Structure formats: structure tokens, C-alpha cells
Amino acid sequence: MTLLSVNLNAVAQLRNRRDLPWPSVTGIARVVLEAGASGITVHPRPDERHIRRTDVFALSELLGAEYPQAEFNIEGYPSEDFLDLIEQVNPQQVTLVPDDPAQATSDHGWDFAGKGNFLTSVVQRLKRPDRRISLFCDPDAGPEGVAAARATGADRIELFTGPYGACFDDPAEAGRQLAALAVTCRAAQDVGVGVNAGHDLTLANLPAFQKAVPGVAEVSIGHGITADALLMGFAEATRRYIDVLA
């Protein structure tokens, strides 16, 4: 079964529109975990336009005290500030992304060959027996890209599913994107690298993804589940995503 980690960036971004403490990031974390989510994902950025450093510490405290079985996944570009945050919080999973700080959201995977030495040094610094390292990966990275990712020492890749999510009105292109994702996923599994996925996955496009790209360990979903939660509430939205993933 593919596990669900709920990304809370959109919740934090809504909260930050006002100088008020709601919606509560930790409060929504409780709701989705009680509804069956396996973990929480956040992507703190330097400008704190959504998740703040204080949120990261508050969520870490919440999970440790009330949901020790849940996984905390922190995404980000491995700047010195980010690495320092990871060492302070000690999440179960770190997902490294090649974002420019000014980007609105992640939109591409790592150049594993060109950044191999850099990523290897970061992975070696962050890896611990109780911590998994995942690298954001383009859907068409294929066997060559996966081999370079594996050489860094990373435990997993996270398939960037944004291009697939963007072709919701183009079935032919969706099929091409799924084929590329499937090749990269199989290549990773063949060499013992675990596979996560995330970006613009929804209740509508997850079934086809699950069928075409089997064996994904975990998906991180934020925008889609937040949009659905506006209609049905976070608990029901979480349960529906879990049902699809099962």
C-alpha cells in the first residue's frame, strides 16, 4: 500500500494572509493524522511565506508527543540554514529539492550527474540509521539518472509528478508522462532505491498513476488535498485519498 503524507504548506500560506493563528497548522496535522494519514510533510522556505521555522518545531513536538508512529518529512534546498534546521529537528525523512528560494513551488528534479558530488556530501552529512534521505527526481530521469541518484547514497527518490498533474485535460500527454514515470520508478526499484512521488496528484489522477506506476512507497499531497478539504473537510479528504491509495 502506498502511504499518504499530507503537505501542510497551503494551510500555512492561508494562515499567513492575516496576522492570526488560524487555520492552525498543528491543528490540521492532528485532523489528518487522526483520519489515517501516515505522516506530515512541510517545505519551509527562507522567506517563510508559508511554513515557518516555528511551525517545524511545533509539528516535531506534536508528532513526538502524540503521534510517534507518524513520519515527519521535511523538504528543502540544502542550504546551511536548512541543514542546521534538520539537525535540530531530526525528522524521519529529508527530501532534498533543487529549488531557487524565489520559486513559487518545486518545478524540476536534480541534475544528478552535474550535482553528484554536492549531493553526495549532503547525503553523507544527513544520513542516520533513523533518518531517510530522498532526492527530488524528474519523471524522465530513467535508468541513467537513477544510477547517478543511487551513487549519492540516497535512500529514495521522489518522482516529480507535476508534469503529469498538469495534463489533466490532455489524456494522450498524460499517458506519455505516466510511461516516463513508470520507467524511472522501475529503474529505481531494480537497483534498490525506494520511490516516493508528489506534486499535483489528485483524487482524479491518482488511480491511473497507481496503476501505471506500481510500488510507490509514499505520496506527498498538499494542494490537491487542501482544495478537496474546502469542500469536504480535511478528515474526509484524507480518508478518500487513503482509499484511492489502498
Q: Is 43 in the active site?
A: yes
Among residues 71, 75, 158, 218, the one annotated as catalytic is 75
User: Is 223 a known active-site residue?
Assistant: no
Whether 118 and 141 have beta carbons less than 8 Å apart is answered as no
The residue annotated as part of the active site, out of 50, 71, 158, 199, is 199
Contact 92, 62 (CB under 8 A): no
Q: Report the 10 Å Cβ neighbour count for 240.
A: 16
Active site residue 199: yes
Q: Which strand (E) or helix (H) includes residue 88?
A: helix 80-89
How is residue 206 written as a grid cell?
A: 491518482
Catalytic option among 43, 50, 71, 158: 43
DSSP state of 189: H
110: left (phi over 0), alpha (psi -120 to 50) or beta: beta
Active site residues: 43, 75, 199
